[in-house]
Amino acid sequence: MSFAFGVVLFALGILVSVSLHEAGHMLTAKAFGMKVTRYFVGFGPTLWSFRRGETEYGIKGIPLGGFCKIVGMTPQDDDVEPADQKRAMWRYPVWKRTIVMSAGSVTHFALAVVAAWLAAMTLGLPNPNFPSTPEQVRNEPAVIAIQDCVLPDTTYRACAPGDQASPAAQGELRDGDRITSVNGTPVDTYGELVSALRAVAPGTTATIGYERDGTTGTTETVLASTKRPPLDNPDGPVTDVSALGIQLVITTPGLVSYGPVESVGATADFMGDLAVGTAQALQRLPEKIPALWNSITGGERDIDTPISVVGASRLGGEAVANDAWELFIMLFISLNFFIGVFNLLPLLPLDGGHIAIAWFERARSWVYARLRRPDPGRVDYFKLMPFTYAVILIGGAFTLLTITADVVNPISFFPR
């Protein structure tokens, strides 16, 4: 029940975001005196509407977005009444049209920033010092969790009959113990622990010093043998090394909360990191298409592949079902920021495409004026229709691909 509630709640959040996106276009257009005739949430048949002034507001039957109709967005619009010609959007200065067309993305950015600021004061934001590289992981304190067995090589799988029992478990070490020494050699970080263990021959007895609940102690256990590559060359040849049958417990908190003032700076840093990550994700989109297709045809789903609104809603449902509200909020923030950036790409029919054309017209007029040549006028949108249809076709195919992958082989952050 909580999963379904989470799915509906996240989908509702997306619908509200898109509706506010269109409201951003509408409000800025009205502020400049442009005529807005319709503002609807959803598509398809009209369920309910009312008229206030010159604008009709309402709700349609398919809750998959929304739209607002601004009169005369392009010179080729043929539904502009003679009395409205002066208020046609394309006649306004380019800076006003830019504000109106970018207002939707600005709304998404504002939602992401406000949500991140509130999260910074409550649930917390991702810790910038959380270990994300092998070197940072090696520098973590040597706090351990006990494994059931020691696998014979680097191939990851569940423990099976015949696998070596965990020496740590046999030595009565426990989850949460912090290793302090190996055969008298002091150990502080996890990297030092691994180095100290590899300095001991496999199959020999080692004395392990540890700290547990503020109390120190020692234990003896026979180290198991496994095959691993050199520490300084993960791709190098594997050799027999000693293993304790443990894994690292990362003690650095994943989320950090801040006060109201500190949250401003933390939010700015977080949004900067999100901007870099979003730009990198957009650059990698083409190379992720084969991985998406592979996940549909029976392969394992790469957690780094794009997801659709369906997949995001599923993850939102999982987050609520597992009481992981911080993940729910991070998904909401990331999705709004991504939509805001994506919508500004200079491609028709995206808002960024209209902005690019407006500034292209302005630059071209400036150049022609300097050359003392007649102004070439406005761009003919009809000539761009083949390119626009191509973008729509590619975008639609990509959306269908991600939705199919999210239905057939969805990404999950929690064990099933």
d(CA 387, CA 380): 13
Torsion over CA of 201, 206, 211 and 215, rounded to 10 degrees? -170
**Cβ contacts of 116 within 8 Å, gap of 6 or more:** 125, 267, 270, 271, 333
Please choose, from the candidates 34, 96, 87, the residue with its C-alpha nearest in 3D space to the C-alpha of residue 362. 96
**Cβ contacts of 171 within 8 Å, gap of 6 or more:** 208, 219, 220, 221
- The DSSP-derived string for 155-188 is ------TTSEEPHHHHTT--TT-EEEEETTEE--
70, two tokens: 């601004």
d(CA 37, CA 31): 14
Distances (CA, A) of 365 to 86, 359, 360, 368: 21, 10, 8, 5
User: Known catalytic residue: 287?
Assistant: no
133, two tokens: 């590289």
User: For residues 314 and 10, is the Cβ–Cβ distance under 8 A?
Assistant: no
Distances (CA, A) of 98 to 19, 50, 106, 109, 330: 19, 29, 11, 16, 29
Please choose, from the candidates 108, 75, 72, 103, the residue with its C-alpha nearest in 3D space to the C-alpha of residue 87. 72
Instruction: Determine which one of 22, 192, 318, 361 is catalytic.
Output: 22
Task: Give the catalytic positions in this structure.
Answer: 22
